[in-house]
Amino acid sequence: MTGDPSLRICASLDRGDFALQVDLTLPAKGITVLFGPSGCGKTTVLRCVAGLEQAHGLITLGPETWQDSAKRLFKPTWRREIGYVFQEASLFEHLNVRENLLFGLRRAGKTRATQGLDAALDLLGITHLLDRAVTGLSGGERQRVAMARALAAQPKLLLLDEPLASLDIARRQEVLPWLERLHDQLQIPMLYVTHSVDELARLADHVVMLDRGSVRACAPLAEAMASQDVALAIGEEAGLVTQGQVIDRSPQDHLAQIQFGGGILWVRDPGMAVGQTVRVRILARDVSLALTVHDDTTLQNRLQGVIESIEADIHPSQAIVRVRCGRERVLARVTLRSLRNLSLEAGASVWCQVKSVALII
């Protein structure tokens, strides 16, 4: 990461019943998801970066220092070039949508300010809401306006604190595609707090897992998803998430072929283009292991690999087997009894039979 601008968050805080101790150097691009159970301190980290809370430590973004306790430096929130999207609707109710959007933009003092607004409106598809009262918006619309408002001021860092948590499932599905659009089109780095594995799998480039105020994992998405800490923390939802590319389509079967670091997979084709980059997610519980390749099975997706490690799982009957397939590590959830029956150990060559692949476009 030398030479690359990065986000450094070094913070320690002791409130008696809760202690926070993190030292993170994060890439200043893409989405970094702060992940963990409630009460683990992820929101506190975000608030420290925003300056809404003050821990002891150092916070820098590229060449800018926002806090340096050693030098008694603490920039107040309003002097940090951030955008912050709060968990619940935080729009100003005494202003309409347009006035809400202009609030930050006017104060940011950017010369090309309206460009920022137009881009934000377009990016979040809220141009038609401009003259509406805030109280008349749906939960999903409110969060989109809140995101646009944060972006309109052209921040250098976008902070999102569980922006979907206050929405019901239907609304969440309505807002998620807009977040994915932000991910694809924005150049600025984002810190995204969530406890939802689904959001993590869809949005993260980089993952920081927190537990009781300390960092358990800090790695790129695929690596983090393959780590034992994360696998144990997310339980049933453990598995591989990685990037792949559409290399072929079979229209009569409605399937598409995806090439990724671990091999080739057939997936349901929602109408993709050859060459398109997609995310694939393979849950550990959907992977079984075989010593030899089987052709007399309905499972068509098979990946060859070598067992890297076998680790304890959430239930004493099971284990998480980490299989290195090419450049990727596929997780398989199997019972200890079958491991014993097949005498599987680290170093053994196996076939991963994949029952289902989820596609995240």
82 lies in the site for another protein, by CB under 8 A: yes
- Kindly identify the residues of this chain, within the stretch 31-50, that bind another protein according to CB under 8 A: 50
138 lies in the site for another protein, by CB under 8 A: no
Closer Cβ to another protein, 141 or 328, answer by number: 141
Q: How many residues are listed for the chain in this entry?
A: 361
Among 12-20, 83-91, 288-296, 350-358, the segment contacting another protein (CB under 8 A): 83-91
The residues, any chain, with a CB within 8 Å of residue 124's CB and separated by 6 or more, are: 144, 145, 147, 148, 151, 178, 181, 182
Closer Cβ to another protein, 129 or 150, answer by number: 150
Coil, helix or strand for 45?
Answer: helix
The residue among 337, 293, 334, 342 whose CA lies nearest residue 310 is 334
Least gap, CB of 143 to another protein (angstroms):
13
Burial level of 343, CB count in 10 A (0-12/13-18/19+)? exposed
Closer Cβ to another protein, 54 or 214, answer by number: 54
Q: Which one of residues 7, 9, 145, 153 is an interface residue with another protein (CB under 8 A)?
A: 153
Closer Cβ to another protein, 124 or 207, answer by number: 124
Closer Cβ to another protein, 12 or 87, answer by number: 87
54 lies in the site for another protein, by CB under 8 A: no
94 lies in the site for another protein, by CB under 8 A: yes
112 lies in the site for another protein, by CB under 8 A: no
Amino acid identity, position 59: I
The residue among 155, 68, 55, 154 whose CA lies nearest residue 114 is 154
Residue with tokens 């200890």: 336
Pair of tokens at residue 49: 């970066």
Q: Answer whether 74's CB lies under 8 Å from 51's CB.
A: yes
Strands (DSSP E) contained in 124-166 are 157-161
66 lies in the site for another protein, by CB under 8 A: no
Least gap, CB of 340 to another protein (angstroms):
55
Edge-to-edge strands of the sheet including 287-290?
Answer: 287-290, 349-354, 301-312, 318-325, 328-335
Q: Which one of residues 8, 75, 86, 165 is an interface residue with another protein (CB under 8 A)?
A: 86
Least gap, CB of 46 to another protein (angstroms):
11
Amino acid identity, position 112: R
Closer Cβ to another protein, 29 or 110, answer by number: 110
The residues, any chain, with a CB within 8 Å of residue 313's CB and separated by 6 or more, are: 231, 232, 319, 320, 333
CA–CA dist 73, 68 (Å, integer): 5
Among 64-72, 87-95, 206-214, 218-226, the segment contacting another protein (CB under 8 A): 87-95
Please give the residue ranges that form the binding site for another protein (CB under 8 A).
50-52, 76-79, 82-84, 86, 90, 92-94, 103-104, 107-108, 135, 149-150, 153, 159
